[in-house]
A and B are shown apart, each in its own frame.
Chain A
Amino acid sequence: KAGVTQTPRYLIKTRGQQVTLSCSPISGHRSVSWYQQTPGQGLQFLFEYFSETQRNKGNFPGRFSGRQFSNSRSEMNVSTLELGDSALYLCASSLDGGRGSSNEQFFGPGTRLTVL
């Protein structure tokens, strides 16, 4: 079955713009998590969505938001882009994000966002 897909793979924006990234989870998966990866801060959890509801949230400003649709696809939006938002944004999906070996989380290849 197809893995987690993220679009676009690469994106260049300028400061002050906004951007929307998309994540399509593995078929049947209802939990989608987003992570930001930067050389300075490493991998940081942004938020997790389950059944169209944000269930967990990391420590990021309100400029970072997301949503999940009824087909479990998720989008994340960053408004008023700053240079420091340049990063690899990874999404991951699992059946329901909980515990248990059957709930393995699979990562997508990421979207590389460059802010100029």
Chain B
Amino acid sequence: AQSVTQPDIHITVSEGASLELRCNYSYGATPYLFWYVQSPGQGLQLLLKYFSGDTLVQGIKGFEAEFKRSQSSFNLRKPSVHWSDAAEYFCAVGAGWDKLTFGTGTQLKVEL
């Protein structure tokens, strides 16, 4: 069965500092991997996705993620966090866009 682990429930960073959110997955075949962001009272917005090819993928809002097959990881990074990045971040895995398995999420707090 597929699963996603986001080991950090809460992370606090200072504005301007770098950010890395961890994601480990378990999947039998080549996965589709996603990072979504959810602001309070909102639905999910896609930040970036990995299907195949270059293992370093760029997304919106200055985010990037690196797929490491040997470590079954797909960590999300941002070099300089802005206060508006405060939100909950979800990593997800699937065989396609549908029937995704999500991690439990990481709540990001940004200190000014």
Contact = CB atoms under 8 A, between A and B. Distances in A.
B71 interface: no
Binding site secondary structure of chain B? loop
A8 interface: no
A42 B103 contact: yes
Interface size band for A: 20 to 34
Interface residues of B, number: 23
Contacts of A103: 96-97
A99 interface: yes
Contacts of A105: 46, 97-98, 100
B99 A99 contact: no
A97 B102 CA distance: 16
6 contacts: A45-B100, A56-B99, A94-B97, A99-B95, A103-B96, A105-B46
Interface of B: 32, 36, 41-46, 49, 51, 90, 92, 95-105
